[in-house]
Amino acid sequence: MKKERWKPGTPLPPVMNAEDIASYLGISVANAYKIMNQSDFPSIRIGVKLLRVPTDRFLEWLSHSTPQRGG
């Protein structure tokens, strides 16, 4: 079952998984996993397969990795 896209104003969970990130960014779960496996992404590996990221660290990473517009 496909997860509904995140809506502004909806609280985020304290820890996010690939589905949460995909919903927040409007991308596929496969692309969310690609991002979560990048060396600069603050993911936490639990066991062999589970990847999670604390929401505050995700939002911080996002603010630093998003190009600024304007100029």
Confidence at residue 7, expressed as pLDDT on a 0 to 100 scale: 78
Tens of pLDDT, residue by residue over 7-50, are 788 899 999 999 999 999 999 999 999 999 999 999 999 998 89
The helix/strand/coil state of 18 is: helix
Long-range contacts: 44-47, Cβ < 8 Å, 24+? none
**Cβ within 8 Å of residue 20, ≥6 positions away:** 3, 6, 12, 13
The residue ranges of every structural domain in the chain are 18-63
Of 23, 27, 14, residue with least CA distance to 58: 14
